[in-house]
Structure 1
């Protein structure tokens, strides 16, 4: 499975948005554990944060002027937030860029990490660190679907429930792109699923 993840992400040509004007840049790391049953490592952001407080997210943050590129931003932020040493991350490649609701240009990077890492959450930013089997998302076990207007069209974004955690928004978009790429999951975000009920009508 790991070989397939490596091959498909390396061969992938992500969609890179071209914003109309300059935007602040950020990057996140999508850590996947090395093993027969790969897992995605996620964080629950501290509730007191001014943006995305109490939400599930990948380790990441805004680009610093000292960062050589956005990949370095993702690795630096992962180390600062969860104690993940850059030297043990095998960065495979980027997925498609996104623009957050706060107008930030976000690029996700897929990275392979050992499955024995002891994460150290930065209490000022991170409430907890947890992992989810990548295959969990393949059957699209969505709890609800959120419709958002994004990039000039309607998007139907799944919201997943894993234990006590709700996984939605940009994080869910990144996960869907990953499982579609690696598993041919065929999860559609540009069309309403059969289960979708439009409550605005």
Structure 2
């Protein structure tokens, strides 16, 4: 069980972030979530344009992730999970709670909250939505709607070991510092791919997750 101590009052860093986010995040989910003919501005293709040609004609599935910000005495943090090594796709990677939007979900927020509850036991009544980022297109075939929210610092989390092997919080100040956004590359399927990486204290935040963090930075501070 993961249950860190809550802070007594809002941190000034969080207050400053929320003031900017109030006017820069969207109040409603992206209109083009289900419009498969529209290519989102943000995605893995921003640094590797060739990925769009490879995905040409392939359907993309609507999905949602929860960017949960937690107010801590030392400063606000962002909640991340480490995917189980037993998973078929992206095993062991750092991610946000989230997944595919099911037919029974009322929208991205409902899907993100459901997934967070299923993966890490985060009760939805402890989450206060702030707003939405633009869609992010992943090369794995998802049109991801990132939901930015505050998670109550008193939360008590219970991980689902079938999906999540660990959880950690990274300082928001680290993630919102452009100097920590490193463009790296590696060979994948016979071609060089570029992506963002944000290594922090032994955790390698990269790929889609780092790309979404970059969009959060550009949206709130760009």
The TM-score, its normalising length taken from structure 1, stands at: 0.78
Q: What are the residue-to-residue correspondences of 1:17-166 with 2, within 5 Å?
A: 18-20=35-37, 23-35=60-72, 37-137=75-175, 138-142=177-181, 145-146=184-185, 157-166=195-204
Determine the C-alpha separation between the residues in 2 that align with 1:173 and 1:13.
Answer: 17
Gaps of 5+ in 1: 149-154, 187-201
3-state secondary structure, aligned to 1:159: strand
Task: Write the deviation string for residues 164-196 of structure 1: whole angstroms up to 9, x where unpaired.
Answer: 3110111111111223344x3x5xxxxxxxxxx
Counterpart for residue 196 of structure 1: none
Moved over 4 A (4+): 13-18
Determine the C-alpha separation between the residues in 2 that align with 1:6 and 1:99.
Answer: 26
How far has the Cα of 1:65 moved from its partner? 1.1
C-alpha RMSD of the superposition: 2.6
Is this contact kept in 1: 2:83–2:91, CA < 8 A? yes
How far has the Cα of 1:123 moved from its partner? 0.3
Task: Write the deviation string for residues 130-156 of structure 1: whole angstroms up to 9, x where unpaired.
Answer: 0000111215235652389xxxxxx95
More helix by share: 2
C-alpha change, 1:54 and 1:72, in structure 2 (3 Å) is same
How far has the Cα of 1:11 moved from its partner? 1.9
Q: Which moved more, 1:61-70 or 1:15-24?
A: 15-24
The TM-score, its normalising length taken from structure 2, stands at: 0.72
